[in-house]
């Protein structure tokens, strides 16, 4: 009781604080912060980013009211490493084991370092994750899914978690609330295995006739069938706990809205990580067929609607003006990523990655340059910003904004770019390293950008990922592009500018050796 009183006094005291940003000193309130993370949404997938075949009014409104970045980045071209960097402020390639994780992986986020949510906790915030996790759970691969599983999100800074463990195409296809599977019947325990079949559930390989959405050949989505969809990995039991894909997104939305409503009186940080438009794309029934572009288009419309519902909730809770909403994606777009869902055949001229070259998995721009929007009414400028910003820099930037120092050694690669994030400056990072990947999560070519010049060192990786029909950016030749004039990376000018090549090659090497 006494403690509660002290805590509430403290939070009243800390409600108004002075934050010193790099160029300006401004008195700011502690805003609520909602980070909305799309999964595999490309640079050209929103109408505010030039899409003409899809209309995304809610995200467009957010972009109009805030800062829309044209040079905003995930660190990596796949999910796990981008999310690792966002939460830890460390380039993922500094640490092994940060590639795309299977659904039974152990937690890869250190529990003794400052993470983005821990920073918020220290600044007096309540914190939550609702949505896709994909950073591993527990201490080891072999684990009992029927009891408490830790460490996980609750051990790395989230007071509350309502997640699914990995990706929607991976078992176990269940929700977890604060370390436990939701709606688990103890008499029907869950078993998960990524190597050998467990239990008697039919697999997509043995029974393709049971599938409501066919898997693409050779992409591995042909193991246990859940809700008529073949998954990566094998699972048995937990029948009442298994999700219905059509309800995944609305479940997360409901949980996020509840969280906002319940915490509207205290500053909170909500990490709201949607699965759209990652495979398997299975929109809520009311969105099926709405876009005319197949389910990939439909789930993007649903994603946009979801953002609108969150904005409505902020209005209803009376906290619109004191809430910063950040929207981005963990990597670029892919069409056929494992299921025959008409993403390719119903594309109708839509360009998911806009004018960018490559796509998900690629070190070329479309791998990591993504939609990035920040809106905080009355504080962020209303503008389009060309500042180079990275999701990894949110940690150091919030450290600055909230006047909450980061202990030495933590978040080593995160740079304070708060003025760029708020639209007060057009100068973001000068240097950024980008990480490609391959379809199995291995490898990952690094490229470097400095002041608009981009260099990709020569390497022996495959130049083309046939399974997903995407150029990777790998080449045995050194590649140099001037993104200021050639955002589509059409002209390799390495031969013309050997000095630039040398400078960037050295810089990349130095950055890599820093760890």
The contact set with ligand NG6 (CB under 6 A) reads: 39-40, 78-79, 100, 134, 167, 169, 219-220, 232, 278-279, 331, 337-338, 439-441, 467
Closest contact distance (angstroms) between CB of 358 and ligand NG6 is: 15
Listed as own residue / partner, the contacts of 380-383 with beta carbons closer than 8 Å and 24 or more positions apart are 380/66, 380/67, 380/324, 380/422, 380/423, 381/66, 381/67, 381/422, 381/423, 381/424, 382/64, 382/65, 382/66, 382/67, 382/423, 383/67, 383/68, 383/423
- Selection from ligand NG6, Ca ion, none that 63 binds (CB < 5 to 8 A by kind) is none
Residue placing its CB nearer to ligand NG6 in the complex, 165 or 338: 338
Q: Specify the residue, 170 or 450, whose C-beta has the smaller distance to Ca ion.
A: 170
Which stretches within 113-264 are classed as H helix? Answer: 116-122, 245-262
Report the residue number whose CB is nearest to Ca ion: 79
Going residue by residue from 35 to 64, which x/- string records binding to Ca ion, judged by CB under 5 A?
----xx------------------------
Nearer to ligand NG6, 134 or 255 (CB): 134
**Do you find a cis peptide bond into 172, omega within 30 degrees of 0?**
yes
Residue 193 is a binding residue for Ca ion (CB under 5 A): no
For the CA atoms of the chain, what is the radius of gyration? 22
Name the binder of 489 from Ca ion, ligand NG6, none, CB < 5-8 A by kind. Answer: none
Q: Which is nearer to Ca ion, 173 or 331 (CB)?
A: 331
SS3 content of the chain, % helix, strand, coil (to 5): 25, 20, 55
- Joined together, the tokens standing for residue 177 give 């609330």
Q: With contacts defined by CB under 5 A, name the span among 130-138, 253-261, 322-330, 504-512 that binds Ca ion.
A: 322-330
Question: Minimum distance between the CB of residue 39 and ligand NG6, rounded to whole angstroms?
Answer: 6
Which segments of 89-242 does DSSP mark as H helices, in order?
Answer: 116-122
410, HSE (Cβ side, Cα atoms, 13 Å)? 20
Residue 339 CB, shortest distance to Ca ion, in Å, is 15
- Closest to Ca ion by CB, 32 vs 76, is 76
Q: Quote the tokens at residue 90.
A: 């460390």
Taking the complex as a whole, the smallest distance from the CB of residue 100 to Ca ion amounts, in Å, to: 9
Nearer to Ca ion by C-beta: 169 or 413? 169
Kindly state the tokens that stand for 395: 């940690």
The torsion angles phi and psi of 470, rounded to 5 degrees, stand at -135, 135
In angstroms, what is the minimal distance from the CB of 90 to ligand NG6?
18
Out of ligand NG6, Ca ion, none, what residue 470 binds, judged by CB under 5 to 8 A for its kind, is none
Determine how β-strand 479-482 pairs with β-strand 470-471. Answer: unpaired
Task: Say which entry of Ca ion, ligand NG6, none residue 167 contacts (CB below 5 to 8 A, set by partner kind).
Answer: ligand NG6
CA distances, 128 to each of 11, 39, 268, 302, 410 (Å): 18, 18, 8, 22, 21
Nearer to ligand NG6, 232 or 420 (CB): 232
From Ca ion, ligand NG6, none, interface partner of 279 (C-beta below 5 to 8 A by class): ligand NG6
Closest distance between Ca ion and the C-beta of residue 464, in Å? 20
Residue 219 contact partner, candidates Ca ion, ligand NG6, none, CB within 5 to 8 A by sort of partner: ligand NG6
The one-character DSSP state at 406 is P
**CB-nearer residue toward ligand NG6: 377 or 441:** 441
Q: Beta strand pairing status for 453-456 and 479-482?
A: antiparallel
Buried b vs exposed e over 322-353: b needs ≥16 C-beta within 10 Å? bbbbbbbbbbbbbbbbbbebbbeebbeebbbb
Assess 276 for contact with Ca ion (CB under 5 A): no
Collapsed DSSP state (helix, strand, coil) of residue 256: helix
Using CA atoms, how far apart are residues 340 and 330, in angstroms rounded to an integer? 23
Which residues between 326 and 365 bind Ca ion (CB under 5 A)?
330-331
Q: Are 178 and 151 in contact (CB under 8 A)?
A: no
Which of Ca ion, ligand NG6, none has residue 440 at its interface (CB below 5 to 8 Å by kind)? ligand NG6
Query: Toward ligand NG6, which CB reaches closer, 40 or 104?
Result: 40
Query: In the 8-state DSSP scheme, what is residue 137?
Result: -
Under rule CB under 5 A, residue 79 binds Ca ion: yes
- Cβ proximity to ligand NG6, 306 vs 438, nearer residue: 438
- Contact residues for Ca ion, defined by CB under 5 A: 39-40, 79, 330-331
């Amino acid at each position: 009781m006494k403690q509660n009183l002290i805590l509430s006094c403290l939070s009243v005291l800390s409600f108004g604080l002075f934050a010193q940003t790099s160029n300006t000193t401004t008195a700011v309130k502690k805003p609520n912060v909602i980070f909305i993370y799309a999964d595999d949404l490309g640079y050209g997938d929103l109408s505010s980013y030039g899409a003409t075949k899809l209309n995304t009014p809610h995200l467009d409104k957010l972009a109009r009211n805030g800062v829309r970045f044209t040079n905003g980045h995930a660190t990596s071209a796949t999910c796990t490493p981008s999310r690792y960097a966002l939460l830890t402020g460390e380039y993922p390639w500094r640490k092994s084991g940060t590639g795309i994780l299977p659904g039974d992986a152990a937690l890869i986020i250190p529990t003794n370092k400052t993470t983005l949510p821990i920073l918020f906790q220290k600044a007096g915030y309540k914190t939550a994750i609702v949505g896709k996790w994909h950073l591993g759970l527990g201490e080891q691969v072999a684990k009992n899914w029927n009891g408490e599983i830790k460490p996980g999100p609750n051990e790395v800074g989230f007071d509350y978690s309502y997640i699914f463990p990995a990706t929607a195409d991976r078992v176990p296809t269940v929700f977890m609330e604060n370390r436990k599977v939701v709606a688990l019947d103890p008499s029907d325990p869950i078993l998960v295995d990524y190597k050998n079949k467990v239990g008697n559930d039919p697999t997509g390989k043995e029974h393709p006739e049971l599938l409501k959405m066919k898997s693409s050949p050779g992409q591995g989505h042909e193991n246990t069938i859940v809700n008529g969809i073949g998954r990566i990995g094998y699972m048995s039991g937990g029948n009442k706990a298994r999700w219905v894909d059509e309800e995944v997104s609305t479940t997360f939305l409901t949980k996020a809205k509840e969280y906002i409503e319940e915490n509207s009186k205290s500053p909170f940080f909500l990490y709201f990580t949607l699965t759209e438009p990652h495979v398997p794309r299975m929109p809520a029934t009311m969105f099926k067929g709405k876009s005319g572009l197949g389910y990939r288009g439909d789930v993007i419309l649903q994603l946009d609607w979801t953002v609108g519902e969150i904005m409505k909730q902020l209005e209803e809770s009376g906290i619109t003006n004191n809430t910063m909403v950040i929207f981005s994606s963990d990597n670029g777009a892919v069409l056929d990523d494992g299921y025959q869902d008409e993403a390719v055949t119903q594309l109708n001229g839509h360009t998911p990655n806009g004018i960018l070259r490559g796509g998900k998995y690629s070190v070329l721009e479309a791998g990591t340059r993504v939609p990035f929007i920040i809106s905080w009414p009355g504080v962020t400028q209303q503008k389009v910003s060309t500042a180079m910003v990275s999701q990894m820099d949110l940690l150091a930037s919030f450290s600055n904004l909230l006047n909450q120092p980061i202990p030495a050694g933590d978040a080593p690669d995160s740079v304070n770019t708060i003025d760029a994030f708020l639209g007060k400056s057009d100068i973001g990072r000068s240097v950024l390293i980008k990480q490609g990947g391959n379809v199995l999560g291995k490898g990952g070519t690094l490229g470097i950008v400095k002041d608009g010049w981009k260099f990709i060192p020569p390497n022996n990786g495959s130049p083309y990922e046939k399974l997903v029909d995407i150029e990777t950016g790998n080449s045995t030749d050194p590649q140099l592009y001037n993104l200021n004039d050639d955002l589509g990376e059409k002209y390799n000018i390495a031969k013309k500018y050997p000095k630039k090549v040398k400078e960037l090659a050295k810089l990349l090497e130095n950055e890599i050796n820093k760890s």
